[in-house]
Structure 1
Amino acid sequence: MLPAASSSPVVPGDAVLYFAYGANMSGRIIQKREVHPITWEPARVTSLSLGFAHRGGYATLMEHSVTKASEQPGFKGLNFLGPHGVLYTLTTTDVQKIASRETGYDITSLDVRTYAGRMVSARAFQSQRLLRLKESLPPRQQYLDLMLHGAKEHELCEEYIQWLAAVPSVAQGTPLGPEYFDTPSEALARLATVSLAVAGGVWAAGHGNCP
């Protein structure tokens, strides 16, 4: 739980608005990363959807609202159009602390509407294309629990909290299947490995009789 925010906080000139939608919604994680928000409030992005389509089944913001997985009976509810989250005011130093832990994400700018009705421009982390899965997959339960904790802590809308609580997940200790790592970057790595092997074979064939 984050300490109570000051009613009249001192906001430095280089302060950054940061929209958190994953584990960083949780005060536990923010404090663990030694990040000290100046202000925070619930907010929502209306132009994108949230899906668990980052490598390993982590959350990311996506330009489309439906994936193949969400159309299948066993995987309904893995995407949410117009996700809710926490809008933090941070120093640039604290943004960099978070960025150092967000492997495979790029910083993007987007429009965010606060629950108070303000429309502001904020920064958020979005999965790099090469590390995005083909479709959303059930996240690990520990990760989902952090998201749910953050949503309740910051009193996000009840509909969103109920959706998070209903998202199917992978139980703690259960290995993730290969589909959780099937990203364009993995495909490129496999292609590079095969190409090197073929090139090596061709070179060996052409130089097999050399002294």
Structure 2
Amino acid sequence: MPKIVILTGAGISAESGLGTFRDVDGLWTRYDLNDVATPEGFARNPALVHDFYNARRDNCRGAAPNAAHAALARLETGLASGEVLVVTQNIDDLHERAGSRAVWHMHGELACALCAACGARWDAPAATRPEDPCPACGAPTTRPDVVWFGEMPYLMDEIFEALTDCDLFVSIGTSGEVYPAAGFVRVASDAGAETLELNLEASANVLDFDQQRQGKATDIVPAWVAEVLGG
């Protein structure tokens, strides 16, 4: 199992132009989250939900990994194989495009579509529609492969196992308000790991960490990685 587990949130992608829930003029402000990020909203108006995620997919395609993403990829390459795991709350693919290989998307991926009938997953086209047939079962039950409010995040058993086996847990760009991710630091700490928060400002659970550093992700993440790699 990996010895460094890194949790990333919206803050690491914000400098790539991908907005967070809290941006005052971002994409999220034009929609009610109950309409586009819940199973109930999808049931009411699947076309609206598809339009929303099509816009997010387009926005993601126009974004590029930033220095923080690149630094984490460099960390994975610079340490022994299998020692670094990125667990991300983000549904973009910027970690992968930066070169990270061990990335677990606990909230799903914009790049994938999901069949609500049989559970099949496939690479999403640029635009999806509610009537798109599932390539596995043929049912017109296509939905974005993202975890909505009220749904269980992916890979939770594997994530908790990694947290209890790591030596260092690092949280980057997260609010510390959304569970279960906000509880990861205590799981790792209780298992004996050191904990570090790298964030633009103190999170809601900052006091749960052994160490904290604040600043822009593109500044503090590369600086921390350089320290770990010895310069």
Q: TM-score, normalised by structure 1?
A: 0.24
Structure number having the greater strand percentage:
1
Rg larger in structure: 1
Q: TM-score, normalised by structure 2?
A: 0.23
